[in-house]
Amino acid sequence: MFDKNLFLLVEDSQDDVLLIRRAFAKANIHDALQVVRNGEEALAYLKGEGHYSNRTEYPLPDLVLLDLKLPGKDGFEVLQWIRHEPGFSALRVVVLTSSDDIRDVNRAYQLGANSFVVKPVDGNDFVSIVQALQGFWLWMSKSPEVVRPPVQTSSGAQIAC
């Protein structure tokens, strides 16, 4: 289904999701965005659990766009989990948030964010950001290998994903 680079957007604001989808369309980046609404969904997607177990339909992303202010597990918790999970520790994560608080910037980098981008107020600026993200992170920069950890069955056996 996906023969292009894939972005995983972790974003709870429907308005921001729509702006980002429009920006992708205007930047001529099609079928390259998967969206989850909170931290728990992000972890389930990455682990390939539940609804996200079909790896053809929900492949591993090349780049995660992570909001910080999420219901339940926030973006910091998701980032910390990614960096401590052996198969995902090299996964590229760009924090894309409305916060420009220096404490959030510093904490995100301390937890291993690859970049920190403040969401623009102008929708047209989203197009520029999406083009820059695709150009640098997916076109110019080589992606590290990322592997999904094996799934534990109820009997304790491990199944590779």
2 domain-assigned: no
* Residue-range definition of the domain harbouring residue 135: 7-159
CATH, residue 39 = 3.40.50.2300
140 domain-assigned: yes
Q: What is the mean pLDDT of the chain?
A: 86
What is the structure's pLDDT at 2? 41
107 domain-assigned: yes
43 domain-assigned: yes
1 domain-assigned: no
Residue 7: pLDDT over 60: yes
* Model confidence pLDDT, tens digit, residues 96-113: 999 999 999 999 999 999
Domain count, the chain: 1
* Model confidence pLDDT, tens digit, residues 45-70: 999 999 999 988 999 998 999 999 99
For 100-109, b where at least 16 C-beta lie within 10 A, e where not — what string? eeeebbebbe
* Model confidence pLDDT, tens digit, residues 129-150: 888 887 776 665 556 566 666 6
What CA–CA distance (Å, rounded) separates 104 from 52? 29
Which residues, including other chains, have CB under 8 Å from residue 123's CB and lie 6 or more apart? 19, 22, 23
130 domain-assigned: yes
